[in-house]
Amino acid sequence: MNETFTKAMARNIFYGGSLFFILVFLGLTYHTEKVLPERDHRENITEQVVLGKKVWEENNCVGCHSLLGEGAYFAPELGNVYTRFGGSKEAIMAFIKYRPVDGIEGRRSMPQFNLSDEELEAVAEFLKWTSEINTSNWPPNIQG
């Protein structure tokens, strides 16, 4: 049993392994594309949700907050903020609208963005829509 490892054997391992992992990748891609429409409730995207996402991006909210695990971790995760605020868009809107102009001394604090009522409603609707995505409990809510 004194076989040597030849170039042909190495080539076959390389091609076989590459083919195997390409097939795994294609299978996972197919599965994701099949399951995603059932989980992301894209049929509920309205003009208000789109405007809310635009306001979210224009104000760089992801620079401090994370959304479904993506973004900065300076401020709280907002993927479940609608649930944490008791299912109330009005509470979210009031929290954003009535931020102190100079922040809270000695604490990190969200700035006052001076959003219009339409923009506040849109951001709240966007956060509500985001909270209803089936994320399989990701990211975990370690705050309680």
pTM reported for the whole predicted model: 0.77
- Each residue's pLDDT tens digit, 4-22: 889 999 999 999 999 999 9
Alpha-carbon span 87 to 131, nearest angstrom: 10
Overall residue count recorded for the chain in this entry: 144
- Each residue's pLDDT tens digit, 27-61: 999 999 999 888 888 899 999 999 999 999 999 99
Alpha-carbon span 14 to 97, nearest angstrom: 59
Cβ neighbours for 23, distance < 8 A, ≥ 6 positions apart: none
How many H-runs (helices) and E-runs (strands) does the chain carry? 5, 2
- The label of the residue with tokens 């594309």 reads 33
